[in-house]
Amino acid sequence: MGHTQWLNEEEMRAWMAFIPASTLVARELDQQLKEDSGLSHLQYEILIHLNGAETGALRMTELAERLINSKSGLTYQIGQMEKAGLVTRRKCEWSGSGVLAEITDAGRTALEGAAPGHVEKVREILIDVLTPEERKAIADGLGRVRDRIVERNEGGTCW
């Protein structure tokens, strides 16, 4: 095994700020969405991706990759959302084995209702706390972190 390069004081400070901040942001957003719209944060993200798709539908595999979620976890969420009338599932016309998830009119209505409160909460707990320079640094840095992990896992996802 190689030599461990321990974190210095500044690196440890960054790491120790990141861990609770990421957990608290996710918890706050999930709580806000559940209280205001009855959606989980994952369900909200599903609706965002489906609504943003040209046809309002995506293959389940592609949706799982975009969400960085397991196929089984996504299947469960889509099942719950289908029961609520927010999405439907259907076979891909061009693929014998593929399944599409598609947003419904009720899903679009739920998304439109949830979006204002969600954006207000994102601003309150993250965006408005940071300076423009800090936002740029975080976007650039965490974008590189995301890209590095995705690149390492291409050909065999970790989720």
Q: Output the tens digit of pLDDT for each of the chain's 159 residues.
A: 579 999 999 999 999 999 999 999 999 999 999 999 999 999 999 999 999 999 999 999 899 989 988 888 899 999 999 999 999 999 877 666 689 999 999 999 999 999 999 999 999 999 999 999 999 999 999 999 989 988 888 754 433
User: Are 103 and 47 spatial neighbours (Cβ–Cβ below 8 Å)?
Assistant: yes
Q: How far apart are CA 101 and CA 49, in angstroms?
A: 10
Alpha helix ranges (H) inside the chain: 9-37, 41-52, 60-67, 71-83, 105-125, 132-153
Quick one: CATH architecture of 29-121? Orthogonal Bundle (1.10)
Q: How far apart are CA 67 and CA 114, in angstroms?
A: 19
Contacts of 21 (CB under 8 A, 6+ apart): none
Exposed, middle or buried: residue 32 (CB in 10 Å: 0-12, 13-18, 19+)? buried
- The domain limits of the chain are 29-121
Q: How far apart are CA 19 and CA 142, in angstroms?
A: 13
